């Protein structure tokens, strides 16, 4: 069997090697999941819920170990690893609370001997190909509601979050989810491609637009339910009546949290010309306070860049912005290794001719552009192929609602950013993807409505 080498991106050191899957083992695992799914569906919902409740308790009990594992293999600052695991608990609680109502047999008509019902049946065997940047969030958004609704899950963690993915499998199995009902697959894109080639009833993908397109092309003719949660280039607009310091602190965090490696990182900031300079000064104060360093340290805010190739993307965006006349206020370069490090980077005097304002950066880098007013801000916010989130900072709710109603994005924020709620659907417009997770819709999405037409004899 091939081995997958797992490195610490903060040091470059080899952490361990784990046996990787191949086409034959993926096919065997898919067959095991297929055989196991009916038994899982026949397991009473109360017992499926009890398994997830025990899984939740195990996450709480082992939180420090799980956080350290994630930090070591992704470079995520340890406090943020804990935040993610604690955030997962709220999502689990939401799914546990809501799942019963989503699975109730609905009678929608009954008259003259004719009855019509909607039954919510699971999809069957679902594949989850996942990203590394928030492995517990993006994995849990899929496998928790999928398992609760009676599906078997073939879960392929990112090759950059494999140990975390294997920990999820261990905890689920210890909590009572049968070995063949949740199966982890280890490997890179080749293993993902082998998984998508299996007989599956749904594929839930979180990752880049480029990989999403490949998966969509492969699955198109096969009529498999497909969800794609892809990248973003998320904008925020600071109006002239906003409090510059409050907006700057929130947006600097939104841009740089998780070392800028969030799908909903703030990647474009538009500021009304009347407060542009005050905003930029406050923004720089905040960024200068961010400590770059060992991800295991309690006071680290900026950790390592998880994937080494991303450093080239950041370098190229910086070079392009400088060549086109942007002003570099800080950073703009790699930091010395070992490991993958990039300095927090802020540009002003940017424009949409620059890659920095058009393509996902996925690092601690952001452009701030001066705008003349609301019309220009809306036009620029919509000048993108993506549409994950967008925000507006102003004390005036009516103005924010008017502006955000005109912006094409799955989630919109008034006086906040980089925020996800289990109660609200998480989805993208345009090249940010199709389908959704979270909210009650994010439970229903793992079921199909079966229509029953019943006439009394
Ligand atoms: P990626 O596309 O490189 O990899 C994602 C997954 O796809 C990995 O598990 C990888 O092994 C697998 N894969 C790669 N090639 C494949 C192929 N040909 N067939 C099948 N599977 C294949 O993305 P990434 O670097 O892991 O994640 C970063 C991206 O994810 C960013 O663009 C980010 O914005 C996006 N993301 C989106 C959301 C969201 O909710 N919209 C959340 C987190 C991350």
In terms of residue numbers, what domain contains 47? 3-230+432-455
- Read off the pLDDT of each residue in 241-252 and give the average, rounded to a whole number: 98
Question: Are residues 215 and 320 both part of a single domain?
Answer: no
Hey, what are 299's tokens? 């006071």
181 and 269 in a common domain: no
Nearest CA to ligand 1 atom 8: 158
Residue 427: inside a domain, yes or no? Answer: no
* Distance spanning both ends of the chain, measured CA to CA: 60
Tell how far the Cα of 131 is from the centroid of ligand 1, in angstroms: 5
- Residue by residue, DSSP assigns 415-434 as S--S---TTS-EE-SGGGEE
DSSP state of 290: P
Plot region of 415 (φ>0 → left; ψ -120 to 50 → alpha; else → beta): left
**Rounded distance from Cα 213 to ligand 1 centre (Å):** 11
Same-domain pairing of 441 and 392? no
| Residue-wise pLDDT tens digits, 323-335 | 999 999 999 999 9
Using DSSP's 3-state secondary structure scheme, residue 454 falls into strand
User: How much is the pLDDT for 232?
Assistant: 97
The pTM of the full predicted model, rounded to 2 decimals, is: 0.97
Token readout for 286 is 């905040």
Q: How confident is the model at residue 365 (pLDDT cuts 50, 70, 90)?
A: very high
Catalytic site includes residue 263: yes
Kindly report the CATH number assigned to the domain that includes residue 274: 3.40.309.10
- Does 303 lie in the same domain as 242? yes
Q: Count Cβ neighbours within 10 Å for each residue of 239-264 and write b for 16 or more, e otherwise.
A: bbebbbeebbbbbbbbbbbbbbbbbb
CATH number of the domain residue 88 falls in:
3.40.605.10
Report the residue count for the chain: 457
Residue among 51, 239, 263, 264 flagged as catalytic:
263
User: Considering the domain boundaries, does residue 426 fall inside one?
Assistant: no
Span 112-154, pLDDT tens digits: 999 999 999 999 999 999 999 999 999 999 999 999 999 999 9
pLDDT > 70? residue 205: yes
Overall number of domains in the chain: 2
Give the residues surrounding ligand 1 with Cβ less than 6 Å away: 129-134, 138, 156, 158-159, 188-189, 192-193, 196, 206-208, 211, 214-215, 229-232, 263, 360, 362, 388, 426, 428, 433
Mean pLDDT of 20-40: 98
Q: What spacing in Å lies between the alpha carbon of 317 and ligand 1's midpoint?
A: 20
Known active-site residue 229: yes
Return the percentage of the chain with pLDDT > 90, whole number.
100
One domain for residues 393 and 272: yes
Q: Are 436 and 367 members of one domain?
A: no
Q: Which atom of ligand 1 is nearest to the CA of 156?
A: 9
- Give the mean model confidence (pLDDT) for residues 163-183: 98
> 138 and 198: one domain?
yes
183 within 8 A of 170, measured Cβ to Cβ: no
User: Are 101 and 225 in a shared domain?
Assistant: yes
Same domain, 191 and 240: no
114 with 100, same domain? yes
Asked if residue 78 lies in contact with residue 71, where contact means CB atoms within 8 angstroms, the answer is yes
CA of 221 to the centre of ligand 1 (A): 22
Q: Kindly tell me if the per-residue pLDDT of 271 is higher than 90.
A: yes
User: Does residue 156 surpass a pLDDT of 80?
Assistant: yes
Mean pLDDT of 55-78: 98
pLDDT of 361 above 90: yes
Query: What is the average pLDDT score of the chain?
Result: 98
Query: Per-residue pLDDT averaged across 369-393, rounded?
Result: 98
8 Å CB contact between 9 and 75? yes
Q: Are residues 185 and 252 in the same domain?
A: no
pLDDT at position 1 is: 64
Check the CA dihedral 383-251-157-184 and report its sign. Answer: negative
């Amino acid at each position: 069997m091939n081995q997958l080498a797992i490195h610490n991106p903060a040091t470059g050191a080899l952490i361990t090697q784990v046996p990787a899957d191949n086409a034959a083992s993926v096919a065997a695992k898919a067959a095991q999941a297929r055989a196991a799914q009916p038994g899982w569906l026949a397991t009473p919902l109360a017992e499926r819920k009890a398994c997830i409740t025990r899984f939740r308790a195990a996450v709480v009990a082992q939180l420090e170990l799980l956080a350290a594992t994630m930090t070591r293999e992704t470079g995520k600052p340890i406090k943020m690893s804990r935040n993610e695991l604690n955030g997962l608990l709220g999502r689990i609680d939401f799914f546990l609370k809501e799942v019963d109502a989503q699975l109730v047999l609905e009678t929608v008509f009954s008259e003259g001997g004719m009855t019509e019902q909607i039954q919510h049946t699971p999809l069957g065997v679902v594949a989850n190909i996942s990203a590394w940047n928030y492995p517990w969030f993006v994995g849990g958004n899929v496998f928790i509601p999928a398992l609760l609704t009676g599906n078997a899950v073939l879960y392929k963690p990112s090759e950059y979050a494999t140990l975390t993915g294997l920990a999820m499998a261990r905890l689920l199995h210890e909590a009572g989810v049968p070995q063949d009902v949740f199966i982890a697959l280890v490997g890179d894109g080749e293993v993902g491609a082998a998984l998508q080639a299996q007989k599956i009833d749904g594929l839930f993908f979180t990752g880049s637009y480029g990989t999403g397109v490949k998966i969509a092309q492969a699955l198109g003719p096969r009529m498999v339910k497909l969800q794609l949660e892809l990248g973003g280039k998320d904008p925020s607009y600071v109006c002239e009546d906003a409090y510059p310091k409050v907006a700057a602190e929130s947006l600097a965090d939104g841009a740089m949290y998780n070392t800028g490696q969030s799908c909903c990182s703030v990647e474009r900031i538009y500021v009304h010309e009347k407060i542009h300079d005050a905003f930029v000064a406050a923004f720089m104060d905040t960024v200068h306070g961010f400590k770059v360093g060992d991800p295991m340290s309690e006071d680290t805010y900026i950790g390592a860049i998880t994937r080494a190739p991303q450093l080239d993307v950041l370098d190229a965006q910086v070079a392009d912005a400088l060549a086109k006349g942007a002003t570099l206020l800080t950073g703009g370069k790699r930091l010395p290794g070992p490991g993958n490090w990039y300095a927090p980077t802020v540009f002003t005097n940017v424009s949409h001719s620059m890659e920095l304002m058009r393509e996902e950066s996925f690092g601690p880098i952001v452009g701030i552009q001066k705008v003349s007013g609301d019309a220009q801000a809306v036009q620029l916010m919509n000048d993108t192929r993506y549409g994950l989130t967008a925000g507006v900072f102003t004390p005036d709710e009516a103005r924010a609602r008017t502006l955000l109603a005109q912006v094409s994005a799955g989630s919109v924020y008034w006086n906040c950013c980089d925020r996800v709620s289990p109660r609200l659907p998480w989805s993208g417009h345009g090249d940010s993807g199709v389908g959704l997770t979270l909210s009650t819709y994010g439970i229903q999405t793992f079921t199909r409505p079966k229509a029953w037409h019943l006439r009394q004899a």
